[in-house]
Amino acid sequence: MAHAISPGKPDAIDFLQIDGMLSAEERLLRDTVRQFVADQVTPHVDDWFNDGVFPKDLVKTMGDMGLLGMHLEGYGCAGTSAVAYGLACTELEAGDSGVRSFVSVQGSLAMYPIWAFGSEEQKQEWLPGMASGDLIGCFGLTEPDSGSDPGSMRTNAKRDGDDWILNGTKMWITNGSIADVAIVWAGTDDGIRGFIVPTNTPGFTANKIEKKLSLRASVTSELVMDNVRLPSFAVLPNVAGLKGPLSCLNEARFGILFGAVGAARACYETALTYAKERVQFDKPIGSFQLTQRKLVEMMVGVNQGMLLAMHLGRKRDAGTLSAEHVNFGKLVNVRMALDVAREARGVLGANGITLEYPVIRHMNNLESVYTYEGTNEIHTLVLGQAITGISAFA
Amino acid sequence: MNIAVCVKQIPDPATPYELDDENHWIIRPEDQVLDDTDRSGVEVALQLAEATEGTVTLYSMSPSGTLQGIRQALAMGADAAVLIDDPALKGADALTTARVLAAAMQQEGFDLVIAGTESTDGYSGIMPQMMSEILDVPCLSFARKVDAGDGSVTIERQTSDGFDVVEAPIPALITVTAGIEPRYPTFKGIMQAKSKPVTTLTSADLGITNTVHQVIRSVEPVAARTAGEIIEDDGEAYLRIIEVLEQAKVV
């Protein structure tokens, strides 16, 4: 028999009591990251964003905590569940998408391919230092003329005796200019292969992209490889073809579908507080029907997004998550987050355009999140193919 | 060095506390958090244990609940916890708390006891000193820095205009200020925390029978702040401001 439904006291933020779905261990981990963000990120992030500075000092602290490559097993990694990784991304991105991007790139795009496709020697050489934050990684797939269609890449690696010679340009590379090691995907006679490239290798340069209005607390770079000579053991031995880089992107997208909820939550919380305090026509603007509707839509979006993320996280930990589920999550949750951020910006009026409040920073950041790791359009078409059996793009 | 650290699980300070109607005691939810000031005590203990290859044992007198606060301290790196969870101790006064914790420490053994200066929910600020009397060890209070020597400890004792350097032989008891920056729990620590030993005792296990409860006769809400005085500046307002400051004895 069903229980009776009675009036409750729902929380204005965690309206659906999603907290109750978390284990004590998951809550402790979530609270630890939340505390880290409150102590180390939130008080300074407006200046980082304004000045275009990535907080490199935080990398070691994040490594000490176990945030880097946290869901990987062994080699100094914490080996947490997928849900734990997702919750950490939510809290980091509630601080700033740039900080979460750093962790996504380090763990899911740079460490994961070494962990999944590397030789034992490669894992031993790179993963412990990357987990501790002593070494920073980046991931080179996208090129100036090759975005949603990575198969069209021009970067190539050719054999020269036992060595490889790498040539090409990679674009929009998070962490590029601060990285110690780059995972670079290049066309070879055997299809697309991944290479571990120490960034001090002669012929490798990283140029920071300065004039951007999004993810300003994160480093974005162009990588140029001009006859970069690599030893035979630089190639990732256990993968060939696009499934290598695409599996890394699925890893990162999983973190993003949790992370975007954090950015949305921060915007909604800010708008809710503001609407209850801001007085116009002798009453708080939160008492107007138009504003209440906005607040409710934001609350619904954030809660639905978190429910979706938790569902996909639980499926992943149960071993039943498919790539298309990740496409679903990234498509829906980033779109939701951007809608919430824009709505919150409106609620804050002119104050919404300043860095005194986190909203426009999140809003501008989410424009990048909307595009990177698979554009909203491509995720839509992947789902279109999944339900019709017809590919619209390849 | 075998270090005992007093920690307290308290209701999340981010949510308003509620008192029960009968005794005016704080209603404690199942899910309590580690008192923030205890994080500094755990940090000092961990640093000393790392320097001396010692161990850190947590001591806490509270309903176990979900153990969320204790797990947080274990996740920071403490080795074990001893919990005194006994309905008979509900509402225990500071002296009873000191007797219970001291008895548990005497039973388990210790070289050094570390506590916060006061808890965030009770604020009595006298329990550690009572413990040091019961344990018959010197009390070094308000430490902002602690160093372990050979058979001794040295602290910087925070004062209103600087610090004193105070040394005592061990065993000793130290209270630490919140100025000591605690580490974050590591994720590995969080995952290991649930397999660390937690011993639960009752007051009877410690041979303590005559427990005393504090009685809170009544609780009054804080008086609403009264409106301040608005001084219109006609060019002479500074005289009135000086007068007010003189009355307040700040100038």
- Does the structure show a pLDDT above 90 at A131? yes
Residue type at position A274: Y
| Span A192-246, pLDDT tens digits | 999 999 999 999 999 999 999 999 999 999 999 999 999 999 999 999 999 999 9
pLDDT tier at A350 (50, 70, 90 boundaries)?
very high
Q: Which stretch of DSSP H or E encloses residue A227?
A: strand A220-230
The span from the CA of B45 to the CA of B152, in Å, is: 15
Residue with tokens 């640093």: B47
| Contact state of A66 with B71 under an 8 Å Cβ cutoff | no
- A73 is known as an active-site residue: no
| Contact state of B194 with A25 under an 8 Å Cβ cutoff | yes
The answer to whether A87 faces chain B, any CB pair under 8 Å, is: no
| ipTM rounded to 2 decimals | 0.89
Q: What pLDDT is stored for residue B16 in this prediction? A: 76
The answer to whether A64 faces chain B, any CB pair under 8 Å, is: yes
**Is residue B70 helix, strand or coil?**
helix
**Optimal mutation site among B34, B42, B184, B188, interface A, most CBs of chain A within 10 A:** B184
The span from the CA of A306 to the CA of B114, in Å, is: 41
Q: What pLDDT is stored for residue A361 in this prediction? A: 98
Tokens of A262: 């954090």
Q: What pLDDT is stored for residue B82 in this prediction? A: 95
Distances (CA, A) of A63 to A48, A67, A77: 20, 6, 9
| Contact state of A66 with B187 under an 8 Å Cβ cutoff | yes
Strand partners for A297? none
pLDDT tier at B233 (50, 70, 90 boundaries)?
confident
First to last CA, chain B: 50
Q: What pLDDT is stored for residue B212 in this prediction? A: 78
Q: What pLDDT is stored for residue A38 in this prediction? A: 97
* Cβ–Cβ under 8 Å, residues A117 and A236: yes
Catalytic residue among A26, A143, A269, A373: A373
Contacts of B52 (CB under 8 A, 6+ apart): B1, B148
Contacts of A285 (CB under 8 A, 6+ apart): A274, A275, A278, A279, A291, A347
Q: What pLDDT is stored for residue B123 in this prediction? A: 75
Check: pTM over 0.80? Answer yes or no: yes
Tokens of A149: 């269609």
- The ranges assigned to domains in chain B are 2-206
**Is residue A235 helix, strand or coil?**
strand
**Is residue A281 helix, strand or coil?**
coil
CB count in 10 Å sphere of residue B139: 18
- CA–CA min distance B83, chain A (Å): 18
Residue type at position B135: L
Q: What pLDDT is stored for residue A34 in this prediction? A: 97
pLDDT tier at B18 (50, 70, 90 boundaries)?
confident
Which range is least confidently modeled, A331-335, B42-46, B220-224?
A: B220-224
| Contact state of A64 with B67 under an 8 Å Cβ cutoff | no
CB-CB neighbors (< 8 A) of B194 in chain A: 24-25
- What are the backbone dihedrals phi and psi of residue A309, each rounded to the nearest 5 degrees, phi first? -60, -45
> What kind of fold does domain B2-206 have according to CATH?
Rossmann fold (3.40.50)
Between B100 and B20, the higher pLDDT residue: B100
Which range is least confidently modeled, A18-32, A72-86, A250-264, B16-30?
A: B16-30
- Does the structure show a pLDDT above 90 at A141? yes
